[in-house]
């Protein structure tokens, strides 16, 4: 198959979830004999035309100059370029800024498959106008796709009920981590199992404030590290609110996966506050790194974790869990989640599910 991946800023990953998704998936597809092209913004630091057998198609992306509007320009450039090529599959990661150009996708010669991601229009950080646009974009994403992928059972159900369309459930992937480096703790002045943490974009719907309120109310003298870009308006608000709590440390963005895995593994509790979206990448990665997880209680997280995690709904729950001196057997949830990763979320499994779907869609069209 000749497969194009659109919707990321490019690979190798220097940014986040969709970029890592594109990196892993593209590399596995190439190893399995497929031709793969990944679109990349021209500002991406990697400038070569190939990376580990994957073709990199560089396109102009003015986001650095004009902000969010630049994403729409970049997506347009990618879609226009895709019209000139003979892709069997055009795989879109998300729809937010590409769906308005969906009518330009070359659907007569390529099959357009879209990963619908989460319910973007529900995110509390957006204004009423932006939420209306995102819901409109969601409808266009459904309309201009030949097939949809849902990365959670809840999203699949939502699409079926709202749009009366079928989709294929394929979650985000990860690897089970085999080795951990305790020396990473020295970089952050931490001791194993003597700190707690969260990794997330600092946004209201990720319940950062709820978690930190509970931590502050606990009275526990133990480091709590917050990993995520805090050079934002909301980040500034959080830092100001908790500036007198010397135990809360805003680390900033950290993208070294080996360091992140080790930090998650050696944490006493890894908090996961995401409440909007499908299968969150950081949650799956936490499972793969053997973290002891306490997650926000919602259908997305419960679908993934089941009984193999603790849950919170408010800051009182966080306070009780954080200060409860939990002496649970750490090996039990780790082993259960490790097993899930091997069976359900391993990148090889995820790539195979995509491959089977793409081949089925091609076969059906050729009939």
Confidence of residue 134 (pLDDT cuts 50, 70, 90): confident
Whether 16 maps to a domain, the answer reads yes
| Nearest alpha carbon to residue 356 among 109, 107, 147 | 147
Residue 15 has pLDDT above 90, yes or no: no
* pLDDT score of 128: 82
At residue 330, the pLDDT reads 46
Residue 179 lies in a domain: no
Domain of 68, CATH number, reads 3.40.50.2000
The mean pLDDT value for 335-357 works out to 92
Q: Indicate if 362 and 259 belong to the same structural domain.
A: no
Is there a single domain that holds both residue 220 and residue 338? yes
Asked if 323 contacts 219 with a C-beta cutoff of 8 angstroms, the reply is yes
Statement: residue 237 has pLDDT above 60? yes
pLDDT for 44 equals 93
Q: What are the tokens at 258?
A: 């080996």
Residues 69 and 206 reside in one and the same domain: no
**204 vs 54, which has greater pLDDT?**
54
DSSP SS3 for 178: coil
Residues 166 and 190 in one domain: no
Task: Kindly tell me if the per-residue pLDDT of 351 is higher than 80.
Answer: yes
> What are the angstrom distances between the C-alpha of 352 and each of 7, 105, 191?
21, 25, 39
pLDDT for residue 6:
96
User: Which of 59-63, 184-188, 203-207, 267-271 has the least mean pLDDT?
Assistant: 203-207
Least confident of 140-144, 180-184, 198-202, 262-266: 198-202
Q: 318 and 224 in one domain? A: yes
Question: Would you state the pLDDT for residue 356?
Answer: 97
Task: Indicate whether 82 belongs to any domain.
Answer: yes
Is 48 a residue whose pLDDT tops 60? yes
Would you say residue 276 lies in a domain?
yes
- One DSSP character per residue, 297-311 reads -SHHHHHHHTTSSEE
Quote the domain boundaries for residue 305.
184-345
Residue 208 in this model has a pLDDT that exceeds 80: yes
Adjacent-strand bridge partners of 363? none
Looking at residue 129, its pLDDT comes to 82
Place of tokens 């900033």: 252
194 assigned to some structural domain: yes
User: How many beta carbons lie within 10 A of that of residue 45, not counting itself?
Assistant: 7
Indicate the pLDDT class of residue 327, thresholds 50, 70 and 90: very low
Averaged pLDDT, 206-222? 93
Is the predicted pLDDT of residue 331 greater than 60, yes or no? Answer: no
Task: Between 331 and 345, name the one with better pLDDT.
Answer: 345
- pLDDT tens sequence across 223-232: 999 999 898 8
Q: What is the mean pLDDT of residues 124-151?
A: 88
Tokens of 336: 């259960």
For 63-92, what is each residue's pLDDT tens digit?
Answer: 888 988 899 999 999 999 999 999 999 999
CA–CA separation, 249 and 221 (whole Å)? 13
Residue 123 pLDDT: 66
| 341 and 357 co-located in one domain | no
Measured CA to CA in angstroms, residue 106 lies from 3, 83, 124 at distances of 13, 5, 34
Average the pLDDT over each of 81-95, 286-300, 334-348 and give the range with the smallest value. Answer: 334-348
Give percent of the chain with pLDDT exceeding 90.
Answer: 68
Q: Residue 71's pLDDT is what?
A: 92
Q: Are residues 130 and 236 in the same domain?
A: no
Question: What is the mean pLDDT of the segment spanning 39-68?
Answer: 94
Inside any domain, residue 178: no
Residues 208, 205: Cα–Cα separation, whole Å: 8
Domain-located, residue 355: yes
Classify residue 364 as exposed, middle or buried by CB count within 10 Å of its CB (0-12, 13-18, 19+): exposed
Instruction: Look at residue 281 and tell me whether its pLDDT is greater than 90.
Output: no
Is the pLDDT at 21 greater than 60? The verdict is yes
**Does 229 lie in the same domain as 103?**
no
| Dihedral angle, C-alpha 95, 346, 266, 244, nearest 10 ° | 10
> Do 131 and 81 lie in a common domain?
yes
Verify that 320 and 356 share a domain, yes or no: no
Give the C-alpha separation, 186 to 280, whole Å. 28
Q: Is the Cα dihedral 340, 8, 231, 204 positive or negative?
A: negative
Beta-carbon contacts of 81 under 8 Å, excluding residues fewer than 6 positions away, are 39, 57, 59
Q: What is the pLDDT of residue 124?
A: 64
**Across the chain, what does the average pLDDT equal?**
90
**149 and 138, same domain (yes or no):** yes
Same domain, 165 and 231: no
Strand order from edge to edge, sheet including 224-227: 248-252, 224-227, 196-199, 269-272, 293-296, 310-312
| pLDDT surpassing 60 at residue 367 | yes
Number of domains into which the chain is organized:
2
Residue 227 inside a domain? The answer is yes
């Amino acid at each position: 198959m000749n497969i194009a991946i659109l919707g990321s800023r490019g690979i190798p990953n220097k940014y986040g979830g969709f970029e890592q998704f594109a990196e892993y998936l593209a590399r596995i597809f190439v190893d399995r004999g497929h031709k793969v092209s990944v679109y990349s913004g021209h500002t991406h630091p990697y400038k070569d035309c190939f990376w580990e057998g994957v073709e990199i198609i560089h396109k102009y992306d003015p986001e650095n100059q004009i902000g969010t509007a630049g994403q729409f320009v970049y997506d347009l450039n990618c879609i226009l370029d895709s019209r000139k090529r003979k892709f069997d599959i055009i795989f879109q990661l998300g729809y937010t800024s590409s769906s308005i150009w969906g009518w330009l996708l070359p659907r007569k010669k390529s099959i357009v498959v879209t990963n619908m991601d989460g319910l973007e229009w529900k995110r509390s950080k957006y204004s009423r106008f932006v939420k209306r646009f995102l819901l409109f974009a969601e409808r266009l994403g459904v309309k201009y796709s030949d097939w949809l992928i849902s990365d959670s059972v809840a999203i699949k159900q939502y699409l079926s009920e709202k749009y009366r369309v079928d989709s294929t459930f394929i979650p985000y992937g990860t690897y089970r981590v085999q080795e951990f480096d305790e020396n990473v703790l020295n970089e952050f002045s931490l001791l194993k199992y003597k700190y707690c943490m969260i990794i997330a974009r600092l946004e209201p719907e990720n319940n950062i404030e709820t978690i930190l309120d509970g931590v502050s109310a606990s009275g526990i003298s133990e480091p709590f590290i917050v990993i995520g870009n805090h050079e934002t308006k909301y980040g500034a608000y959080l830092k100001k609110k908790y500036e007198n709590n010397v135990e809360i440390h805003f680390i900033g963005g950290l993208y070294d996966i080996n360091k992140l895995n080790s930090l998650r593994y050696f944490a006493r509790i890894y908090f996961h506050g995401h409440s909007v979206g499908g299968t969150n990448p950081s949650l799956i990665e936490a499972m793969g790194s053997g973290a002891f997880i306490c997650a926000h209680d919602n259908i997305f997280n419960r679908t993934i974790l089941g009984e193999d995690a603790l849950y919170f709904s408010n800051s009182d729950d966080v306070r009780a869990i954080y200060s409860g001196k939990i002496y649970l057997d750490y090996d039990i949830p780790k082993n259960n989640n490790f097993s899930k990763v091997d069976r359900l979320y391993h990148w090889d499994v995820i790539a195979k599910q995509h491959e089977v779907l793409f081949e089925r869609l091609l076969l059906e069209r050729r009939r």
